[in-house]
């Protein structure tokens, strides 16, 4: 068990792994920080670009729809102004059949010409108030699907329908109710079987309601124009009016209340808010970004695109950063592990003897041994009269002596010890207490016998031991080294022997019988 926690190779690997982990964490932190900043910046740019792009599309498309509807309003206003200019007295006009016929001729030519030249115009009409006159009903022109020219149709009999019947007479009663120019719809007009929007102006002269003048716009024309909008992969546009989303299904206009569609309430609230013209909403679990624009006639244009499509380049950047982090980790591990191993070995190994140095001994003791409850012995030894060896034979021979002693220590204690060159000719280590004195004596004997192979005068060792009986976590390394050094001091008084420190503190004496005093 002792040897399993004290092998130098495993400890070096542990220290190396700590350094490698630190390098990897620092590198990943740098990559992550750079990636986060890049992603946030990219998202900000993408978000701003998407908002600008969608708003520009809204402005362009909404502007064209408004332009179309403005032209309808201008045409109807011209007809109204002509009427006001022609009729001075509604009472006299109602009784003058000639004036009525002249007015009819003038209006017929003007209506047809204006309607044919107005984009999106599908029908144009002037209709007398039946309570004002029954001599004439008015005129009604509808654009032909085949020739695109305006053809006359019989005016609708207003009295045949209730005022609440929007599909037949909404164009009349809604205008009268409004008391001024008004856009009506979108709605289905059953008279001509079309989905339309109507711009109608009630004609009042001297307090008398003479009738109404109006022009109808084919709503399919507007819907198709909006439907052509395409943004990103699946983004598009639709219109909202009076709390309803307007869609076509099998050529029929469908008005879907916003509250009936899950996820659209947030969108509708934003569209109708004076403070917000863009935002996000969620439908079927997917988030989309939208931009809206108010248009004439109570219409709202909405352009939206899924958030995932808008930010797909950002998501690719995140994926790239993730791949880069993984690749960086692999590269750093491949490069740094051998480098760190070499650095650790150089930092913790005595270059002359190949044994661990003092720094290694301290770090390993602090990080590993203090956590273990092991009966151990600390030894400290040095070479007797080593200075004389250096002075007599030279430092080169002294280095050989140090290397030879290190080899003997390694052979005697093997892997079951923490060994180190403490400094100079001193060596320190921790070994199992079982048989510690016998092995130290064996070490002294082997060194003495082999010493003459290096220098003629030979050399010997002196060893001091301190037995660590209690939990090592309660021992201070400096205190233990000091006690082992005291035992070494006593041993050097005898030379070529091992002394054991008396933990009761009485004194240190040679253990001639192989037992501690």
C-beta separation of 56 from 201 below 8 A: no
Radius of gyration over alpha carbons of the chain, in Å?
51
Catalytic amino acids?
Answer: 425
Two structure tokens written together for 289: 């970004």
Q: How far apart are CA 508 and CA 492, in angstroms?
A: 12
| 121-128 sheet: strands from edge to edge | 150-152, 138-143, 121-128, 208-218, 194-205, 182-189
Helices (H), 123-234: 166-178, 219-227
DSSP state of 154: P
- CB-based burial of residue 508 (10 Å sphere; 0-12 exposed, 13-18 middle, 19+ buried)? buried
Helices (H), 203-311: 219-227, 265-271, 307-310
C-beta separation of 235 from 283 below 8 A: no
What values do phi and psi take at 330, rounded to 5? -65, -45
What values do phi and psi take at 238, rounded to 5? -155, 170
C-beta separation of 503 from 489 below 8 A: no
The β-bridge partners of 381 are 427, 463
Q: How far apart are CA 211 and CA 202, in angstroms?
A: 6
Q: How far apart are CA 228 and CA 140, in angstroms?
A: 31
Two structure tokens written together for 99: 């004036």
Closest CA to 381 of 431, 415, 347, 345: 431
- CB-based burial of residue 473 (10 Å sphere; 0-12 exposed, 13-18 middle, 19+ buried)? exposed
Closest CA to 316 of 38, 44, 49, 48: 38
Two structure tokens written together for 451: 């010493």
Closest CA to 349 of 336, 339, 359: 359
Determine the 3-state secondary structure of 301 from DSSP: strand
**CA-based torsion, 52, 305, 256, 165: positive or negative:** positive
Element (H, E) at 304: strand 299-306
Residue showing tokens 């076509």: 248
C-beta separation of 289 from 278 below 8 A: yes
Beta-carbon-side half-sphere exposure of residue 412 (alpha carbons within 13 Å): 24
């Amino acid at each position: 068990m002792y040897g399993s926690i004290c092998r130098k190779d495993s400890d070096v690997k542990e220290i190396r792994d700590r350094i490698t982990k630190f390098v990897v964490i620092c590198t990943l932190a740098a990559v992550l920080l750079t990636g986060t900043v890049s992603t946030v910046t990219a998202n900000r740019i993408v978000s701003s670009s998407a908002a600008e792009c969608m708003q520009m599309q809204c402005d362009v498309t909404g502007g064209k729809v408004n332009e179309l509807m403005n032209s309808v309003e201008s045409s109807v206003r011209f007809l109204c102004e002509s009427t006001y200019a022609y009729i001075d007295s509604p009472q006299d006009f109602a009784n003058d059949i000639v004036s009525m016929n002249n007015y009819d001729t003038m209006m017929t030519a003007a209506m047809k010409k204006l309607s044919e030249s107005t984009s999106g115009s599908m029908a144009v009409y002037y209709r007398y108030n039946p309570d004002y006159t029954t001599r004439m009903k008015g005129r009604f022109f509808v654009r032909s699907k085949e020739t695109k020219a305006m053809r006359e149709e019989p005016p609708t009999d207003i009295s045949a329908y209730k005022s609440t019947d929007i599909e037949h007479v909404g164009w009349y009663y809604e205008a009268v109710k409004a008391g001024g120019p008004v856009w009506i719809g979108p709605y289905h007009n059953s008279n001509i079987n079309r989905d339309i929007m109507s711009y109608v102006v009630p004609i009042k002269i001297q307090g008398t309601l003479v009738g109404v003048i109006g022009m109808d716009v084919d709503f399919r024309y507007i819907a198709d124009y909006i439907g052509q909008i395409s943004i990103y992969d699946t983004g598009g546009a639709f219109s909202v009016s009076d709390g309803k989303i307007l869609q076509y299904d099998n050529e029929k206009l469908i008005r879907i209340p916003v509250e009936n569609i899950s996820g659209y309430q947030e969108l509708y609230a934003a569209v109708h808010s004076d403070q917000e013209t863009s935002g996000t909403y969620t439908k079927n679990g997917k988030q989309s970004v939208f931009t809206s624009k108010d248009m004439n006639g109570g219409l709202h244009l909405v352009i939206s695109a899924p958030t995932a499509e808008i930010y797909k380049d950002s998501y690719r950047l995140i994926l790239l950063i993730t791949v880069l982090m993984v690749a960086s980790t692999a590269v750093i591990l491949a490069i740094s592990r051998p480098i760190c191993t070499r650095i650790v070995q150089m930092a913790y190994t005595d270059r002359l003897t190949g044994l661990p140095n003092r720094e290694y001994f301290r770090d390993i003791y602090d990080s590993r041994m203090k956590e273990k409850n092991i009966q151990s012995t600390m030894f400290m030894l040095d070479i007797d009269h080593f200075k004389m060896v250096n002075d007599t034979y030279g430092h080169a021979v002294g280095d050989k002596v140090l290397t030879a002693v290190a080899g003997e220590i390694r052979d005697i204690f093997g892997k079951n010890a923490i060994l180190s060159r403490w400094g100079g000719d001193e060596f320190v280590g921790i070994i199992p207490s079982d048989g510690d004195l016998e092995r130290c004596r064996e070490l002294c004997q082997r060194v003495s016998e082999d010493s003459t192979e290096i220098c003629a005068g030979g050399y010997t060792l002196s060893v001091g031991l301190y037995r660590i009986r209690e939990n090592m976590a309660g021992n201070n390394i400096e205190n233990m080294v000091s006690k082992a050094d005291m035992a070494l001091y006593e041993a050097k008084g005898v030379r070529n022997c091992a002394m054991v420190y008396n933990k009761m503190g009485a004194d240190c004496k040679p253990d001639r019988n192989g037992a501690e005093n």
